[in-house]
Structure 1
């Protein structure tokens, strides 16, 4: 039995991934993230298996490491590269949340954490359309 539990909370227009550890040194770690990341990580978690989510996280981490090596170790950074590396960090956070949320409890409408159920095809379609609309809004 694991001594680590995850849950997702909605907080002030965003979301927080909460990691609770029990044992001799109990600890709670809170990772805030955006509604866009919630939509993307939720869609990914619902539509991919654990192996695909792990591979996605590893690719995001590798992309971040290569970019950091190219533009922050070998060369001097500039504002453009700061923005680009932020995008890669956010992609890694989103991919990691998607992977972790497979084991997370999700708040229901009353704010009580419940185990996440498999979404219906209609719910997946709505989430994907919402994500596409968010992406188009950024462009």
Structure 2
């Protein structure tokens, strides 16, 4: 397994943990309200910090496990996999944002718009890493 594939696995797991964290906090905040909780800057910042810190730790551990691969440049296969996965990610982001905006046109709920658009961003990143894993595993 190459460094880039290990990185995709680590980032996919980190994204899942971040998504679960963020939406569990939003669900807990919303439980006491009669509506969806508004976006709160400290929660968004905490999400970003958690993702960044876990990413650094994960990549350091991957680099320590096999230092000879840590500085490997992307070859043609890696670049093609990254490009295809990025295309899938972009489509998912676009669909998610359009869905969020469409929902807003009917409900006029800015809180839902924010959380849906932010969720679309999270899901697009997760989809990119998942696609990379599938392409690496599938022998693309």
Per the normalisation by structure 2, the TM-score is 0.35
Per the normalisation by structure 1, the TM-score is 0.35
- Name which structure has the greater RCO, CA cutoff 8 Å, separation 6+: 2
Higher strand share: 1
Higher helix share: 2
Whose radius of gyration is greater, 1 or 2?
2
